[in-house]
């Protein structure tokens, strides 16, 4: 008698075989298209063939065809179990998170998972361990490809407040009138933009190739955080004038350590105690750098921000004498309306950091200082301040070609958080999109059209009224815009905000209110210390 002994398979062997069978099954999944499945379904319904014959003829799984005929699935259904929250509510959850991000008050990962937990409890749905797991989060992102965890750009709240639709509209109206009056609307060489930016001697390291999963990764820098200011001026034709560099110091002796011969040709220099531009330096730049490089054609237009150094009597007098029209941007809107900020300074700083890193990696004993700053500046200036980047900035800001619609709709959405409420609690949205849209279509000398900034509440009602309960709405109310500002709350209707769910089941949404009795932060560029007297202000376009 023979006895056969079978050795028990190890757990690792069993798992490998299971993985192989799973991978094999996956390779054979969905070897059919929706059109083939639809044709097989139609053939069976019409009675021209049987299920088995249809499955064989159209090369589709018979089991899937059977489920389709029984109404247990539909064409286009995704494999696997249904989402715990359900497709409809999960989609609305993602839309809500995306809309909040567009307004500058987006969810972090922890906030999103906490909100999903509360939303699930309202529907009496329980997560394992009482909260969403990492697997749920990973599959949630996979199911909703439009949702990604991204790091937002830090933007001061005052910029959101000042990016007001009507203020920007008035700016474009005034700019259009000035360009037509001076006759430079079709002459891009005579439309200029000036702005300043700072460069540190301690550069920002760029990415390097390193071992995956390494815990500590270092990059050498100079350790010197001294800041130098670079004034750049470009025109809509893609031309540039030599930069003006401001070093920190009290006398010209502060410039002795710089190799000024290596700087871009024509560079001018000055010093200030802070290292930033001041009123006297702005006039020095205007006379010694700007006027000598713009040619003899007059008049010309210079667009700049409302910094204190740009708006004082002496500079305006020189501008008047030389037929230079100064256009001041609305306060705290340069991140959207200034060409240099939109497309010029970012590649310029990236090129500077790259040049610094190349130097320190090529010569490990070298650090960034006064002696080699000028050469690095020249390398970054020639690489990044190009005609293509400059023209792109004027085009993105809607200046040339003149097109206010180039300012994206997303630029105005964060401003809708700021609601002005009068004493009798009547809510008025100073950024009412529907009102603005109608105003823009009226007969006016200038008719910029930014489009609708938000969908109508009727569309959202029809889409949401059958999916979210009153409990969901109350939960959204609690997490919508609370604690955004240190002001009191009022129940108001914000029908023109994308993330508004206000009219569902007649439930009001608590929105931030600013009482008219409370001083409201000024959004214009007017201060008590006005450097420009009324008789000279006529020669500068005050737009803010």
Q: Which pLDDT score, from 0 to 100, does residue 434 have?
A: 35
pLDDT level of residue 85 (50, 70, 90 thresholds): confident
Query: Are β-strands 514-515 and 509-512 bridged in parallel, bridged antiparallel, or unpaired?
Result: unpaired
Among 288-292, 424-428, 460-464, the least confident range: 460-464
Q: Is 342 exposed, middle or buried (0-12, 13-18, 19+ CB in 10 A)?
A: buried
Q: Decide if 299 contacts 539 (C-beta within 8 A).
A: no
pLDDT at residue 84 in the model: 86
Instruction: Work out the average pLDDT over 154-178.
Output: 91
308 pLDDT higher than 80: no
> Distance between CA 2 and CA 197 in Å, rounded?
89
Give the number of other Cβ atoms within 10 Å of residue 130's Cβ: 9
Instruction: Calculate the average pLDDT of the chain.
Output: 76
% of the chain surpassing 70 pLDDT: 72
Q: Which of 30-34, 64-68, 346-350 has the lowest mean pLDDT?
A: 30-34
pLDDT at 28: 57
C-beta of residue 454 within 8 angstroms of C-beta of residue 433: yes
Residue 529 clears pLDDT 60, i.e. is over it: no
CB-based contact 53:30 (threshold 8 Å): no
Ordered domains of the chain (ranges, CATH): 11-69 (no CATH), 87-143 (no CATH), 184-206+220-399 (3.30.420.10)
Given this model, what pLDDT does residue 4 score?
A: 52
Residue 176 has pLDDT above 70, yes or no: yes
Classify burial at 192, counting beta carbons within 10 Å of its beta carbon; exposed 0-12, middle 13-18, buried 19 or more: buried
Q: How far apart are CA 315 and CA 326, in angstroms?
A: 10
Q: What is the mean pLDDT of residues 363-383?
A: 94
Cα 188 to Cα 236, 304, 415, 417: the distances in Å are 5, 16, 32, 37
Would the pLDDT of 411 be above 70?
A: yes
Q: List residues bridging with 211 in a β-sheet.
A: none
Per the model's pLDDT, the better-predicted residue between 269 and 34 turns out to be 269
DSSP 308: G
Confidence of residue 220 (pLDDT cuts 50, 70, 90): confident
Q: In what order do the strands lie in the sheet with 514-515?
A: 427-428, 420-421, 514-515
What is the per-residue burial (b if ≥16 Cβ within 10 Å, else e) of 457-478? beebbeebeeebeeebbebbbe
Q: Name the one residue in this structure whose structure tokens are 């298209």.
A: 33
What DSSP character marks residue 47? T
Helix (H, G, I), strand (E, B) or coil at 331: coil
pLDDT average, residue stretch 114-140: 90
DSSP 415-459: GGG--EE-TT--EE-TT-HHHHHHHHTSS-S-------SS--HHH
Query: How does DSSP classify residue 271?
Result: E
* For the chain, percent of residues with pLDDT exceeding 90: 40
Q: How far apart are CA 212 and CA 235, in angstroms?
A: 45
Q: How confident is the model at residue 208 (pLDDT cuts 50, 70, 90)?
A: confident
For residue 15, what pLDDT is reported? Answer: 79
Q: What is the pLDDT of residue 64?
A: 87
Q: What is the mean pLDDT of residues 354-360?
A: 93
* C-alpha span between 156 and 135 (Å, rounded): 35
Q: Using CA of residue 363, residue 366, residue 370, residue 371, what is the dihedral sign?
A: negative
CA distances from 64 to 171, 263, 322 (A): 61, 71, 80
Give yes or no for a cis peptide into 299 (omega within 30° of 0): yes
Contact 324, 302 (CB under 8 A): yes
pLDDT of residue 194: 95
pLDDT band at 403 (very low <50, low <70, confident <90, very high): very high
In this predicted structure, the answer to whether residue 97 has a pLDDT above a threshold of 50 is yes
């Amino acid at each position: 008698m023979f006895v056969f002994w079978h050795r028990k398979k190890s757990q690792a062997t069993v798992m490998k075989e299971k993985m192989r069978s799973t991978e094999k099954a996956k390779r054979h999944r969905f070897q059919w298209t929706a059109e083939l499945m639809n044709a097989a379904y139609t053939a069976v319904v019409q009675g021209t063939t049987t299920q088995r014959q249809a499955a064989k003829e159209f090369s589709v799984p018979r089991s899937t065809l059977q489920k389709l005929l029984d109404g247990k699935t539909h064409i286009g259904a995704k494999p696997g179990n249904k989402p715990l929250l359900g497709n409809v509510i999960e989609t609305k959850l993602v839309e809500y998170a995306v809309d909040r991000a567009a307004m500058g008050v987006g969810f972090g990962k922890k906030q999103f998972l906490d909100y999903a937990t509360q939303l699930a409890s309202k529907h009496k749905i329980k997560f394992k361990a009482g909260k969403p797991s990492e697997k749920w989060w990973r599959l949630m992102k996979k199911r909703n490809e439009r949702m990604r965890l991204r790091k937002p750009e830090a933007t001061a709240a005052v910029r959101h407040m000042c990016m007001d639709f009507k203020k920007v509209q008035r700016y474009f109206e005034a700019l259009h009138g000035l360009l037509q009056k001076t006759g430079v609307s079709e002459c891009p060489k005579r439309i200029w933009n000036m702005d300043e930016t700072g460069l540190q001697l301690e550069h920002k390291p760029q990415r390097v190739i390193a071992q995956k999963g390494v815990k500590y990764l270092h990059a050498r820098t100079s350790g010197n955080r001294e800041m130098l200011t670079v004034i750049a001026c470009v025109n809509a034709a893609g031309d540039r004038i030599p930069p003006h560099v401001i070093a920190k110091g009290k006398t010209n002796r502060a410039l002795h350590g710089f190799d000024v011969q290596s700087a871009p040709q024509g560079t001018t220099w000055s010093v200030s105690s802070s290292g930033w531009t001041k009123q006297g330096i702005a006039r020095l730049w205007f006379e010694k750098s700007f006027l000598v490089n713009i040619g003899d054609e007059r008049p010309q237009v210079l667009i700049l921000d409302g910094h204190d150094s740009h708006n004082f009597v002496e500079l305006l007098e020189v501008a008047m004498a030389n037929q230079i029209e100064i256009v001041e941007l609305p306060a705290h809107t340069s991140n959207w309306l200034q060409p240099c900020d939109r497309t010029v300074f970012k590649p310029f700083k990236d090129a500077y950091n790259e040049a610094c890193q190349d130097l320190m990696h090529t010569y490990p004993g070298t650090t960034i200082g006064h002696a080699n700053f000028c050469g690095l500046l020249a390398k970054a200036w020639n690489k990044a301040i190009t005609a293509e980047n400059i023209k792109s900035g004027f085009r993105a800001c809607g200046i040339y070609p003149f097109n206010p619609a180039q300012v994206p709709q997303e630029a105005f959405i964060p401003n809708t958080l700021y609601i002005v409420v009068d004493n009798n609690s009547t809510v008025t949205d100073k950024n009412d999109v529907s009102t603005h849209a109608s105003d823009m279509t009226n007969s006016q000398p200038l008719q910029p059209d930014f489009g609708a900034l938000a969908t109508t509440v009727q569309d959202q009602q029809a889409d949401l009224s059958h999916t979210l309960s009153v409990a969901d709405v109350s939960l959204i109310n609690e997490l919508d815009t609370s604690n955004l500002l240190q002001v009191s709350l009022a129940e108001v209707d914000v029908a023109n905000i994308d993330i508004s769910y206000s009219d569902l089941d007649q439930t009001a949404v608590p929105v931030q209110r600013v009482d008219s009795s409370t001083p409201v932060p000024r959004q214009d560029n007017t201060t008590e210390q006005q450097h420009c007297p009324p008789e000279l202000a006529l020669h500068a376009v005050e737009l803010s």
